[in-house]
Amino acid sequence: MNDDFCNKIFKLHGEAGKQWLKSIPEIIKKYQEKWKIKVYPPFELSYNYVCPAETFGGEKVVLKLAFPGDNEFKLELEALKRFSSEVSIQIIGEDADHGALLLERAMPGLPISGVKVDEDQIHLAAQVISQLHKPIDNDSISIFPSVSDWAKAFERYKQKYPTNSGPVPNKIFDLGEKIFSELLKDKKEQVLLHGDLHNDNIISSERGWLVIDPKGVVGEREFELGAYLRNPYYDLPKGSNYKKLQIRRIIQFSEELGFDKHRVHHWATGCAVISLLWFLEDEGELKSIYIENVKLLNSLKV
């Protein structure tokens, strides 16, 4: 386990997180016996312990361990249960109370970001999204947060940084808050969204492109594209080429999915702002490149 992963867990969960990290070898041993798997060294880690594994029958799988009681883990589990198996990674085993999942391993498992012709990449991503979204049922409404719930990040920020004293530039903050406020006034059809569908969370498999690592949030379909359009900013061209690329992406996504291109654009900008607030909550710092991304997205003429 690398230091970055350990530091994140300690920052989020304190001493309990440190004890959980120490217990991971024993937890792995438990699930090796329970699910009859052989476990290999982990993938690059972020907030969960995730490693490749193989069943005694030779099936390639993934073991995912979360800090016990982690609500995001529970939402991921519930979202995976509801998404279409045609475009979503499948659950093989679960122990929700103890934060453990055994998942299908997509092979070769390469991200859709590797499709270098961008028009082709967007077309493939749109096909996945078109099959992913389904009308929400009452049971799901009671389980998952809504985009309105996510928007409470603006109020938390104002409470922590009164009188415009925070690190996010006031114009940027006000822009994001206004976008969320105005778009949430419209009562569009609500569906279960992935919530973090950037182009590293759609991966290749022998049965097609599959989504992984959903957040699980209820909102309008156009909101889904916010993560894809803002992330990964580092890999996109800069200057006028960035603007041309993003405008074409917004138009192509909207035409293929039947979305309102203006709402897609506004949500992308708003999501770029709220991601600043989340990053600040999680990491305690702000990177100037994310501010620049907001400005560029907002400047697009769609």
pLDDT digits (tens, 9 = 90+) for 8-20: 898 889 999 999 9
Predicted model pTM: 0.93
Query: Right CATH number for 3-104 from 2.60.40.420, 3.40.50.460, 1.20.1290.10, 3.30.200.20?
Result: 3.30.200.20
Q: How far apart are CA 12 and CA 16, in angstroms?
A: 9
Q: What is the distance between the terminal CA atoms of the chain, rounded to a whole angstrom?
A: 44
The domain ranges of the chain are: 3-104, 112-299
Question: 31-90, pLDDT tens digit by residue?
Answer: 999 999 999 999 999 889 999 999 999 999 999 999 998 999 999 999 999 999 999 999
- Helices then strands (H, E): number in the chain? 11, 9
Question: 206-248, pLDDT tens digit by residue?
Answer: 999 999 999 999 999 999 999 999 886 666 766 678 899 999 9
Nearest of 143, 146, 126 to residue 191 by alpha carbon: 146
CATH topology for 112-299 is: Aminoglycoside 3'-phosphotransferase; Chain: A, domain 2 (3.90.1200)
pLDDT score, position 232: 64
H or E element in which residue 241 lies: helix 240-257
Position 203 confidence tier, pLDDT thresholds 50, 70, 90: very high
Position 114 confidence tier, pLDDT thresholds 50, 70, 90: very high
